[in-house]
Amino acid sequence: PSGVPAGAAAVIDSREVPVLKTLTLEEISDVVGHFAAAAARCKAAGFDFVEIHAGHGYLISAFLTPHFNRRTDHYGGSLENRARFLMEIIHAVRDAVGDSIGVGVKINGEDYLPKDGWTIAEACVLAPMIEAAGADYISVTAGVMGGTRLTVPPMYEKQGCFVDLAEAIKPLVKIPVATIGRMGPRPPLGSAAMSWLVTPSRDAIATVTIVCPSGVQAPVKAISACAKSESTLAALPGRMR
């Protein structure tokens, strides 16, 4: 948000200092529109839900994280300002798809950066804002490039390594909260009320089943953005559209 490489090339000379270009307000608005248009295409293609990826240091995550967001306008500074881009995307996506399909948001619970990173304290403030903006569920992940923990947890990480982040957020919202991260066939249940959803592996299209709080099972066609191994989403009971 504060400066992205301009004129990106297929091959980068690491000896050169990249030329950075700060996103203009018009360009930010264009990006919001692209998210909405992409969601509308998913709806037209027959998908049952879309997920906005606001974690892992990608563009939305970069707006949220003070380490990356050095803007001095109404998209930088306070948490409310840094979250403005995400809020605009959620509203635009919801307007584009209506209530006929679900809209989820994936956020970092922690960046694990040594300085000025996104923290669980800020994630706990953001979660109710996401719910109020119209999201149907929140998926909690963690990590960015340069952080002390990896976004794709290695084998030495404990099972359910991000469950504690999701547990901190869940009491603050009524919508389901999910998490990922080394979820085996018997993931650690931090709450007896948890139900578990299995997501398909990367580059695969599969049908999974979402069990709503009412007990109604809804088959869902999904494209996963998870690692190339089976992962599990932990969704606690809450409101689903």
Q: What are the catalytic residues?
A: 58
Strands (DSSP E) found in the chain: 4-5, 20-21, 49-54, 102-110, 137-142, 177-179, 195-199, 205-211, 217-223, 231-235
232 in Cβ contact with 224 (< 8 Å): no
> Which positions ≥6 away from 80 have C-beta within 8 Å?
none
13 exposed, middle or buried (CB, 10 Å; 0-12, 13-18, 19+)? exposed
> Which positions ≥6 away from 5 have C-beta within 8 Å?
18, 19, 20, 21
**Pairwise CA distance, residues 67 & 174, whole Å:** 30
The DSSP result for 124-166, as a single string, is: HHHHHHHHHHT-SEEEEEE--TTSSS-SS--TTSPTTTTHHHH
118 in Cβ contact with 61 (< 8 Å): yes
179 in Cβ contact with 166 (< 8 Å): yes
